[in-house]
């Protein structure tokens, strides 16, 4: 049995989709659907059971899971970079992850965790996933810190030979529609361009970057799922690894890619960045992806233009934009 936490969420539901593509449906989805539209992400996917998050945690604590366990793919977390409740983030993103990792490894199962590029902070320490750089990182927000704490814990407990933690950079793609303000700019852009024929981007808050010229490493969610599948099916070791394209692109590049995919003329207007974003804003991210060659991983990431075209034309422009098995 494969357990996917956050399996009704963005990356998690795409991981379930990738498992389905491999002919796997012995999957338990763990999530907290609440009153959100996350349920729509899984209605066309194949899985054996759904367990609510808190009920699942109780099962873990009582060692009462009834299934033989192959792997735990831990994609569940609060990913809101503006969340201020530190106690909640520690409990939800750090302590819960510890409990789940211990359980999986005790059962002899693979454990793959979703970390984040937010752990790199302002990027002044670079974006290398080498272990000797881990302790020098200073995240800019509490979300990034909660993810960093778990990576540090894996290293401190000497578990990196058994567990994989993937630092996802700017992920975009189908099944993110429930995320509200945390949806990717590509998703927001498609709706704004359809409604108004133009796109708003933030003015720069740093003299080194022009308006819309802030640089991010944008990775398509299908490529994230492909990386996870490779670690699950082809690589038995562990470690902390980046999940990005290795190429930084500007928000202006992203805007042009969306307008191009929509067959529209590019029209961008710049607006001031909200104050709550200013001190925690990453103006540059670019994943060091040297591990691909080092581990002989054949996964190839889409360019921003190819990813935007697939997302816009195969999903956003369709009546039902969700992935299906």
Return the active site residues: 143, 179
**Residues with Cβ within 8 Å of residue 79, at least 6 apart in sequence:** 116, 143, 179, 182
Residues 192, 254 contacting (CB under 8 angstroms): no
Location of structure tokens 């927001």 = 188
Distance (Å, rounded) from C-alpha 49 to C-alpha 26?
8
Distance (Å, rounded) from C-alpha 303 to C-alpha 58?
42
Please classify residue 43 by burial: count the beta carbons closer than 10 Å to its beta carbon, then call 0-12 exposed, 13-18 middle and 19+ buried: exposed
Distance (Å, rounded) from C-alpha 303 to C-alpha 210?
22
**Residues with Cβ within 8 Å of residue 270, at least 6 apart in sequence:** 200, 201, 202, 203, 211, 212
Distance (Å, rounded) from C-alpha 321 to C-alpha 76?
22
Distance (Å, rounded) from C-alpha 95 to C-alpha 150?
8
Task: Give the Å distances, CA to CA, from 54 to 9, 156, 274, 293.
Answer: 16, 27, 34, 40
Which structure tokens are listed for 45?
């996917």
Question: What is the Rg, in whole angstroms, of the alpha carbon atoms belonging to the chain?
Answer: 19
**Residues with Cβ within 8 Å of residue 102, at least 6 apart in sequence:** none
Task: Give the Å distances, CA to CA, from 132 to 120, 129, 135, 162, 240.
Answer: 14, 9, 7, 18, 11
CA contacts within 13 A on the Cβ side of 102: 13
């Amino acid at each position: 049995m494969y357990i996917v936490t956050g399996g009704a969420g963005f990356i998690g539901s795409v991981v379930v989709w990738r498992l389905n593509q491999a002919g796997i449906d012995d999957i338990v989805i763990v999530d907290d659907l609440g009153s959100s539209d996350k349920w729509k992400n899984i209605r066309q996917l194949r899985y054996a059971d759904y367990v609510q998050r808190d009920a699942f945690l109780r099962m873990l604590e009582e060692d009462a899971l009834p299934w033989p366990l192959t792997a735990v793919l831990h994609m569940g977390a609060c990913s809101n970079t503006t969340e201020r409740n530190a106690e909640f983030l520690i409990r939800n993103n750090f302590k819960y992850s510890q409990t789940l990792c211990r359980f999986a490894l005790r059962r002899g199962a693979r454990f793959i965790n979703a970390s984040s590029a937010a752990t790199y902070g302002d990027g002044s320490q670079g974006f290398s996933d080498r272990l000797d750089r881990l302790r020098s990182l200073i995240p800019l927000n509490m979300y990034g810190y909660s993810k960093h704490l778990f990576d540090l814990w894996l290293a401190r407990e000497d578990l990196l030979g058994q567990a994989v933690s993937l630092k996802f950079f700017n992920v975009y793609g189908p099944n993110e529609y429930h995320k509200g303000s945390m949806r990717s700019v590509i998703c927001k852009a498609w709706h704004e361009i359809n409604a108004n024929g133009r796109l708003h981007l933030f003015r720069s808050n740093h003299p080194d970057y022009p308006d819309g010229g802030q640089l991010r490493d944008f990775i398509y969610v299908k490529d994230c799922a492909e990386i996870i599948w490779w670690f699950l099916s082809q690589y038995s070791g562990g470690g902390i690894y980046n999940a990005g394209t290795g190429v930084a692109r500007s928000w202006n590049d992203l805007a042009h890619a969306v307008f191009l995919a929509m067959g529209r003329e590019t029209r961008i207007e710049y607006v001031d960045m909200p104050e709550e974003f200013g001190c925690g804003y990453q103006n540059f991210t670019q994943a060091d992806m040297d591990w691909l060659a080092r581990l002989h991983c054949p996964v190839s990431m889409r360019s921003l233009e190819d990813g935007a075209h697939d997302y816009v034309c195969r999903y956003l422009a369709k009546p039902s934009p969700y992935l299906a098995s």
